[in-house]
Amino acid sequence: MKKILCLLVLSLASASLRAQTVDTDLAFAISQLQSSGPGPFAKALYGIDEEGVRQLAERMAVCAKDAGAALSYEMLSRRFIAQKVERIYLVIYFEKRPVFLRVDSYASPKGRLFLSAIVSREAVDVIPLEAVNPAGH
């Protein structure tokens, strides 16, 4: 019984640490948002997908309008929805309000690709209840 309890605790701790691990691709994209704005942010995520870059840049610009400077971000949750597809939930802290982001990534044979992103000022538009930390931190 003690072994099972230990395994359960280790499994939960490991999942928590994975959710909090720094993602260098996302950290770079956020740094682009902080220094250069929504266009470079979207370009950092989508690369050569011109339509994806345009759509994400436009939506981020709307959400960040009048919010002040992007200060930092917090990774709320990372979950694999398939063996090679991961869903990531973030909150980006601006001076005047947070902006919420959900983005999927695909481990393709040619490297990591970011897929559909949803950005909103409203957490309920982006983050399912099960991805929210009830303690608030």
What is the model's pLDDT at position 15? 43
Note down pLDDT in tens along the chain; length 137 residues: 444 433 333 344 444 444 455 789 999 999 999 999 999 999 999 888 888 899 999 999 999 999 999 999 999 989 999 999 999 999 999 999 999 999 999 999 989 999 889 999 999 888 887 666 655 55
- Host domain of residue 119: 24-131
Q: Nearest 10 degrees: CA dihedral of 6, 8, 11, 15?
A: -130
Residue 58 in any domain: the answer is yes
Q: What is the CATH number of the domain that holds 113?
A: 3.10.450.50
CB 59 within 8 A of CB 119: yes
Q: What is the pLDDT of residue 18?
A: 43
Q: In what order do the strands lie in the sheet with 98-108?
A: 70-82, 85-94, 98-108, 111-120
- Total domains in the chain come to 1
62 lies in some domain: yes
Residue 72 in domain: yes
Residue 3 lies in a domain: no
Instruction: With respect to residue 15, please indicate whether it lies within any of the assigned structural domains.
Output: no
User: Is 14 among the domain residues?
Assistant: no
CB 120 within 8 A of CB 91: no
Asked whether residue 92 is assigned to any structural domain, the reply reads: yes
- What pTM does this model have? 0.77
Q: Supply the pLDDT for residue 65.
A: 92
The pLDDT, as a whole number, for residue 7 is 36
Q: Please report the DSSP string for 35-67 in residue order.
A: HH-HHHHHHHHHTT-HHHHHHHHHHHHHHHTTS
